[in-house]
Chains A and B, each alone.
Chain A
């Protein structure tokens, strides 16, 4: 079945360093969504990308959708302690009407 993989599983950075997480799908995606889950919290929707090669920015966060629509990335510039959490990508599950979540990347930021 379709798989959505994320790397790395875990990243520890010093505050102020940049961070990137990558999402790869085994199939072409019509769109991709990104969510953030703070420690002890629930996933919160961040953004959706639809177009091939699309780039969107939210303050220090930059989201990209690959040209082939099979991969995506989230880049955080100059991390802050408030960025701590797990970042998930999610894409449509093929012919089924459901969202397949990636395995997530846990970001730890040391002050």
Chain B
């Protein structure tokens, strides 16, 4: 089944404890992206990748890191999480590295930082 898989679905952590949220897609998509969703703010892009080894900042990149060493994987790293990073996170991918290409979203990761 074609899908974007994120793990974990839920995560509770403490301030400053490094964490990684994994994202994997099995559709051979070029483009991958991370979004955070907060009430009243919609979906805001954190980082995106147009292909392997090519990543770029989105609108809210502060406090996050990403890597794209393989086409299928695009992990999101929080080196030192803070409470303002408590949010619902979505990984998404699309076939082409173009805004014309529809996004396929993962099921989301709800992160709580205390």
Contacts and interface: CB of A to CB of B under 8 A. Distances in A.
A72 to B, nearest CB: 15
A42 B107 contact: yes
Interface in B11-51: 33, 35, 40-45, 48, 50
Sort chain B's interface into a size bin. 20 to 34
B98 interface: yes
Contacts of A101: 35, 42-44
A30 B100 CA distance: 9
Contact of A43 (B40, B50, B103): B103
Given A43-B43, A98-B45, A98-B58, A92 B99 contact: yes
Query: Which 10 interchain pairs have the tightest Cβ spacing?
Result: A92-B99, A45-B102, A101-B43, A42-B105, A103-B42, A101-B42, A43-B105, A99-B99, A104-B42, A42-B108
Interface of A: 9, 30-31, 33, 35, 41-45, 48, 50, 88, 90-93, 97-99, 101-104
